[in-house]
Amino acid sequence: MAFEDTMRSLREFDVNDLDFESVGSWPFPIKLLIWGVILVGALALGYYYHIEDLQLTLEGERKKEERLKKEFEDKAFQAANLDAYRQQMRDMEESFGALVSQLPSDTEVPGLLEDITNKGLLNGLNIGTIDLLPEQAKEFYVELPIAIVASGSYHDLGAFISGMAALPRIVTLHDFTISAPGGDANRLQMSITAKTYRYRDDEV
């Protein structure tokens, strides 16, 4: 009998008569349908947000995986080339040591001045003056300028400059000036600044 009453109430019910202020008077099947729709909508919304959270978490894990993979590849490359890096470091240390060995210490400067004087005399020059100028401290080394005044023929001056380049220590030549006092082209006077270098330590 209850089923027949329910079916009759459904047939007599008009959707246009739905009034949310009188939900209690709605037929039970309508109430059940509405609550079913609401429940399905709530479940669908919850599922959507849950899936979205999972997708964000998954994306974060993917990025983390890519970062870890990149770090692993970098470390693997470094490990594979470790011997080559060590050999390169040894080569650089040897090259640096070779360069430093060519830089005179303070105690070797007088010997260097003597070498310069001998080079001039051996090439037939008349050495006027050889003066040590104030040191110039740079970031990793110290410049030791030496002002030289010498006279001789053009050929002798050229031979002297070539001899300076052959010294066992690093010597560079700067600020050439050549003149002919008294107009004698066979007796030229040269002023030149030679610079040698030493490794800079904390005492400079």
What pLDDT is attached to residue 104?
61
Residue 1: predicted pLDDT = 43
**CATH number for domain 104-199, candidates 3.30.70.560, 3.20.20.70, 3.90.120.10, 3.30.70.60:** 3.30.70.60
Domain parsing of the chain, residue ranges = 1-80, 104-199
pLDDT confidence of 150, banded at 50, 70, 90?
very high
The fraction of the chain above a pLDDT of 70, given in percent, is 74
Give me the mean pLDDT over the 116-140 stretch. 88
pLDDT (mean) for 26-30: 62
* DSSP single-letter state for residue 201: -
Position 176 pLDDT exceeds 50: yes
Cα separations in angstroms, 183 against 113, 150, 186, 187: 30, 16, 9, 9
- Which pTM does this prediction carry? 0.50
Task: List the structure tokens of 76.
Answer: 């693997």
